[in-house]
Structure formats: structure tokens, C-alpha cells
Amino acid sequence: MSHIPSNLFPEDGDILSAGLVRGLASAAQETTLLRGADYLVQPVSGQGVRIVPIRKPTVWEHSWMTTLQGASAIIRPGLVNTVMPWLADSAGPLRALDGLDADLKKHKSGVPRLELKDTLFDKDGYSFIVIRVKIDKATGLMAKPAEGGLTIAQTAETTWLDGASLDRDGVGDCPIAFLRRAVSAKNGLGKVFQVRYFPINHRYQAGENGGSAKHWFLV
């Protein structure tokens, strides 16, 4: 049955027959929400029922997956030109995103976290978590990650709104996620939204005809 039959709706002045009342009771029974495979049914006294999902959502652990933990962000490892970025935090010096050092040994400080600052938001309430690439402008080659050539940073500046990052003295930024501060919130980190999901290829394009040099971050 997909709807309450129209004959269960009497007009004013009609006599409420036992058939009508039985029909209504039966219809009420049919609208009882039963437990399903995906949820629990919790009656809330005098108010109704609450559906509680019991299936955990599928979490796909992709490259660059950014999750907030307190005032810091944990970034799942990913590769830029097959190289993993490094990151320093208050727990230890620069080390790879997977917590390994240059000798591929587990660093005693563990997996690095990006310590976030709520001052690094633009006037519209956005802050960006970026892969920061530093190159030698003479050769176009990326410096070693252990020497700060490939790191993760937080910034409020946007230099990539035309699809490529404008060069700033050999440095280019690739946003992998952005933080959006809640409307009206004066501080706090807000929610994180993912931008990148896959390994990245970096290419440097020198400026021509007086134009700006660019960093391209391609999938």
C-alpha cells in the first residue's frame, strides 16, 4: 500500500464507522518504521522515531587526504614527480610525509603534522594547504626535499587562480586542500575541503615576452 486510502478521510458530519476506525488503525500500523539493515530505529517518547545509521561510510584513503586533528592537519603521503614532500613540525625536523628520514628509516618523531595558524586566512575566510616546490631558476630543477625543495605549507595567498601557480623567486604552490572558516566565525580553522586526490607532475615554465614564470601541477 503506498498511501492512506482517500475513503479513510471522512467529511464533517459523517459518522465514524467501525470500518473507518479499523482502517485508520491498520494504516497506522503500516506506517510503523521497522528496523532495517542499515539503521536502527529509536523511538523518541512523544515526538517520533529517530533513524540511526549503523553502516560506516566507505573512506577512500587517497593521496594528499587531509584531515584536521585539533589545530594541526595530517596529510596522507602523495608524490610530486615521484618524490614525497617533507614537513617539519614542533615534534621534529623535516621528514617525509610517511614519517621516514633520508635513510628510509622511521623517524623517532613519527609522522609529521602541519601545524595550522588561524591567522593565515584571507579576508573571505579561506586558507590553503599547499605543496610548495622550490626550484633552481637557472636549471629549472627541484631542490631536494630534505633541503626544503618540496614541502607542505599553509598560506592565505592565492597565486594559482588562472590554473597555474605564478613563480615567486623560484617557489610555486599547489593547493591540495583548503580550509573554509564558518560564516561569521572570527577565528577557528573551519572545515577542510579536498582539492587534490592523485600523484602530481610538476613542470616549470619560464616567463616569455616579459610574462611571469609559472609552475604547472599536472595530474
Partner 1 sequence: MTTTLNPLTTAPYRAVAAQLQRNQLLPSPGMRIYRSRYGQRAEIAFPQDPWAHPWSTRALWNEERKHWEALVVVPGSVNAIDPLVPGQTVMDGDKERTAGLCDFPRIPLKSWRSPVANGEKLQAFFAAKGVRSLKSSGLISGAGGFTVVDSYQPESPIPPRTLIACNLYLAKARATYKAVITPVDATGSSGVVFDYSVTYGTETLDRKGVRARLQTAAAFPAIHKPTFAERLLGTYEDEGEDRLSICTIYLLSPPNEEGITPDARWTPYIQHDEFWPLKHVSPITSPKVSPKPIRIFTGLAGGIGDSLFNQILSSQNEASQRIINAVNNTVPEGDWSLA
| Residues at the site binding partner 1, with contacts judged by CB under 8 A | 1-4, 8-18, 20-21, 24, 26-39, 51, 55, 57-58, 60, 125-126, 128, 158, 160-164, 175, 178, 180, 183-184, 191, 193-198, 209-211, 219
User: At closest approach, how far in Å is the CB of 13 from partner 1?
Assistant: 5
10 vs 188, beta carbon nearer partner 1: 10
User: At closest approach, how far in Å is the CB of 173 from partner 1?
Assistant: 9
Distance CA 140, CA 206 (A): 8
51 vs 141, beta carbon nearer partner 1: 51
Q: Amino acid identity, residue 125?
A: G
Q: Rounded to the nearest 5°, which phi and psi values hold at 179?
A: -100, 135
38 vs 136, beta carbon nearer partner 1: 38
- At residue 168's C-alpha, the angle toward residues 120 and 86, to 5°, is 65
Distance CA 56, CA 79 (A): 29
User: At closest approach, how far in Å is the CB of 151 from partner 1?
Assistant: 18
- At residue 164's C-alpha, the angle toward residues 89 and 102, to 5°, is 35
User: At closest approach, how far in Å is the CB of 54 from partner 1?
Assistant: 11
Distance CA 140, CA 162 (A): 21
Q: Amino acid identity, residue 102?
A: A
96 vs 164, beta carbon nearer partner 1: 164
